[in-house]
Structure 1
């Protein structure tokens, strides 16, 4: 027995019906959902303010068939959404979990918009890799920090208690029944909290480099772009208790992070006609595969870096994202009236970059198999030095259709639930299955379901 899990103490310092570990998107959605179901709720957060990996993302959630989508004239369905998820993951996902995500996403978006006033809109001016419809829902600044702040405000308005600067260290149990947790205070002291229901919404394990090297060695040298609190307690608790763990090698990478600034550059700069080149000024892969796949492709280049090349027209589209505007503000995005000038600004071979851009077909398929159609790149030209990063892990605890954690003996833990980074997502066994927005899809759908679930 380790201090990760321990027998129930003689008494708890305080007790609450439903305790949620983690105040990212999953935990906050779970809290709103649980209170709506009539439960007494307490959220425990390790940071000084709620943030998590959600705050580092663009805050976009895919959903099919929402009221918002319909108002934008977009015809979509949960069945088509599920097909897109499985196509991207090469059919490696549990179909039941895929259907659960696809069928519940629209309801969660509509609920957050209608009940809690979150002003979602659909990204309609460019397509995300793998999605056959425009179904990415986000708040006005297209910022994950805005999403977390909006969810926190909704929880505060509902009177839900969120206690920050309390890191959960130990899970107490009697057999398969979870009875409470131990949390560490900033002053080194500890408190114990008893509960009838525990929801793990805390983290993946991307911040634990030993676990990353063990389960996903191909990304172990990538920049860690996720939240440093993602140390893997949830899967370690699960392993100690005998829970089922799945797809621990699956992750969301991102191969378009401004370097050395560490600012996410939206993949719209690529989907709208931009390309990536290496230090030699040459393209090296089919960028249409997606930004998660780009992480490995970029890290395999000399120096583990590349350069995203696009133009001012594309930059204007990308500027709807707060991260991109920040990258522009700090000078990470370089702009020049000529391609030769841009090459010099970025330290790239002028002739080679010119030949690379000239070789892009205006309307056709290139040597890498990427299809181009629409406007060619034109002055003024833009570029940014990027590297590959690990954003979050996708593997985790297996759950059923109530977000209830599965036991290795084929049963279920009566009162243990998981979502977000703690639960297994829908990205197949590796990074190649990552479909844009899957992380937040898992967070909000499983958070909503876990919160509603009764114990038993």
Structure 2
């Protein structure tokens, strides 16, 4: 072991502990098994990454460290342009994230992509065991905290609901702090693929699509088996077109319109060419947050909501990765921390039959936001209503968007036969798929469907697609009876020509499957969305057990219950996050500006 001087040992311990290393790792800043050691080996001093301040400080966003990464290696885009290999993690739907989301100086590095993807990624000095934030035990909560800040509004969670709430509150004149426990922003919104439902928009009108608020309400209530709260559904539909306009004004492209399961007409808005909607919207929201210089903090877990003797929410207790515990006093708090689909134990608690199912969610969707709300007196409702999605790529956690079926793909079983209306509701399609041999199905489409939806290219990139020059060749590739698959396609194409699906009553038949090549992706149902959550008012106030709103406390997005009932329609999630995020942000700003009652 290399001898270290006492001064270098102390500095090493300080730097290492700040970056989450164990005491032994901290004492060995030049250990070759970590990036800091490799940097030292190459003659790069600590100050190149951490700055020259004494004592050395690292904020929870690891700003200075990441500036050092970019200064030496270039931006994420520049690194991506130089990277080699089939899978390029530096060019992805995650956007322009911090280098330290994956790379550690005094701890093992790990690929954030590995939370959802099964492919192997080489990374310098990988961690032996990957331990994202939610895998750690619940942090202790100290009796007293000396470090204290003040702001007008705190937003917990940085998905679409949280970012929209923050932007809205800021634009209404409030000082806002956004807190995100993960090392990157975006939440589940970043993974949203299909689009955003909205009724009676100018983009529908331009395409001659006749839709109405009333029809969107009817479809949503029917899809949710009428367990939805009607007043919340009405707000979702009535303000959906305005929410599309809001995003458009921020710089989003939602001009393409398609259809998702359970919708009576085309109302799913997405970028031109059918690109994934979530990553696009998150990038737009991030850019607007930067433009406004919003205070957005990652690696910052809220461990408790603070309240006064009158039961008003007055702030939050935060555990920062480097800063440790501190409190933020606020005049209003917006909870937008998402659901719990990535918490298998909690899913199995509410739905034992879902035990062991994979999840399509990002790793932060563990439900700790629900715990915060419940601990503050909020009422939980519909917690057993958990949605499984019928098309997660077999052997992975990658969601194959419903828009592929909406654009014409069909589902066939291992006998090469259709077995369900492909654009029925997700619960019905999942149930039908689980009843098939192997509890999986093949999503079959042709070159015409592929060209109609840009995001399908990503499935090829991830090597999830089997192909064949003819239906028979595709059948051989996926090991189903060739003649059966050909006959299935022939019958479906005849239905398209006749504009009537006699077999399964599929209402929308956008195109025949006749253009070579022919493709298939094996899919299985997996846990996708939790419809239950905190009960809110039409003003997004979190409701207490006495039926009254908790003062100063608002919530939006998947952390709430009531909008979707027993089953969420595809395309309604993004719509919900934008509409109710806007309401929550406006209400929080109003509460922050209102005189405090004695």
Alpha-carbon offset, residue 40 of structure 1:
0.8
Structure 1 residues 183 and 299, CA gap change in structure 2 (3 angstroms): farther
Structure 2 CA distance, aligned partners of 1:200 and 1:264? 26
Q: Structure 1 pair 410/7, CA: closer, same or farther in 2 (3 Å)?
A: farther
Residue deviations 1:88-119, cap 9 Å, x none? 223221111111111122222212322x2323
Residue 86 (1) aligns with residue 224 (2): no
Query: Of the candidates 353, 360, 367, which is equivalent to residue 232 of structure 1?
Result: 367
Assess if the C-alpha contact under 8 Å between 1:8 and 1:179 holds in 2: no
Does residue 1:335 correspond to 2:441, yes or no? Answer: no
Q: 1:374 to 1:117 in 2, by over 3 A?
A: closer
Answering whether residue 548 of structure 2 is matched by residue 411 of structure 1, we say yes
Instruction: Give the equivalent residue in structure 1 for 2:514.
Output: 378
- Aligned residue in 2 for 1:365: 501
Distance 1:450 1:268, change over 3 A: closer
Task: Indicate the larger mover: 379-388 or 399-408.
Answer: 379-388
Q: Distance in 2 between matches of 1:261 and 1:439?
A: 22
1:444 aligns with 2:549: no
Q: 2:255 — aligned with what?
A: 121
Max Rg structure? 2
**Is the 1:255–1:294 contact (alpha carbons within 8 Å) kept by the matching residues of 2?**
yes
Contact 1:6 1:171 in 2 (8 A): no
SS in 1 for 2:299: coil
Secondary structure in structure 2 of the residue aligned to 1:289: coil
Partners in 1 of 2:212 and 2:197 — Cα distance? 12
Instruction: State the Cα distance separating 1:197 from its structure 2 match.
Output: 0.5
Q: What is the deviation of 1:358?
A: 4.2
Instruction: Say if 2:278 is the partner of 1:144.
Output: yes
Structure 1 match to 2:121:
none
CA contact (8 A) 2:411 2:442 kept: yes
Q: How far 1:295 moved relative to its partner?
A: 3.1
Contact 1:251/1:427 (<8 A) preserved: no
Q: Is the Cα–Cα contact under 8 Å of residues 85 and 98 in structure 1 kept in the other structure?
A: yes
User: Is 2:153 the partner of 1:21?
Assistant: no
Aligned counterpart, 1:310: 445
How many Å separate the matches in 2 of 1:5 and 1:296?
A: 42
CA distance in 2, matches of 1:191, 1:246: 31
- Tell me whether 1:399 sits opposite 2:539 in the alignment: no
Shift of 1:251: 3.5
Matching residue of 2:110: none
Residue correspondence of structure 1 range 12-411 to structure 2 within 5 A: 13-58=148-193, 60-114=195-249, 116-123=250-257, 126-140=258-272, 141-175=275-309, 176-187=311-322, 189-318=324-453, 320-321=454-455, 324-360=456-492, 361-362=494-495, 363=498, 364-370=500-506, 373=509, 375-380=511-516, 381-411=518-548
CA distance in 2, matches of 1:219, 1:288: 22
Aligned length: 445
Residues 3-41 of structure 1: per-residue CA shift (max 9 Å, x gap): 899899575521211000011100110011101211110
Q: Does structure 2 conserve the Cα–Cα contact (< 8 Å) formed by 1:342 and 1:383? A: yes
Q: Determine helix, strand or coil for the equivalent of 2:181.
A: coil
Deviation at 1:277, TM superposition (A): 2.0
- Would the alpha carbon gap of residues 373 and 214 (structure 1) be closer, same or farther in structure 2, given more than 3 Å must change? same
The CA distance in 1 between the partners of 2:313 and 2:141, in whole Å, is 10
| 1:442 shift after superposition | 1.7
Counterpart for residue 124 of structure 2: none
Q: State the secondary structure of the residue aligned to 1:357.
A: helix
Q: 1:5 touches 1:237 (CA, 8 Å); kept in 2?
A: no
The two structures have a TM-score, normalised by structure 2, of: 0.69
| Preserved contact between residue 273 and residue 310 of structure 1 (Cα < 8 Å) | yes
**Per the alignment, do residues 356 and 66 of structure 1 end up closer, same or farther by CA in structure 2, a change over 3 Å counting?**
closer
**Cα RMSD after superposing both structures:** 2.6
TM-score, L = length of structure 1: 0.89
Distance change >3 Å, CA 119–CA 8, structure 1 → 2: farther
Work out whether residues 16 and 40 of structure 1, in 8 Å CA contact, stay in contact via their aligned partners in 2: yes
Q: 1:382 to 1:189 in 2, by over 3 A?
A: same
By how many angstroms is 1:263 displaced? 3.1
Structure 2: where are the runs of 5+ without partners? 1-137
The gaps in structure 1 that reach 5 residues or longer are none
Note the C-alpha offset of 1:241: 3.0
Alpha-carbon distance change, 272 to 447 in structure 1, aligned in 2, over 3 angstroms: closer
Residues 198 and 244, structure 2, Cα contact 8 Å, conserved in 1: yes
- 4+ aligned runs moved over 6 Å, structure 1: 3-8
- Per mean C-alpha deviation after superposition, the further-off stretch among 103-112 and 158-167 is 103-112
Q: Quote the offset at 1:386 in angstroms.
A: 1.3
2:317 and 2:520 mapped to 1: Cα distance? 49
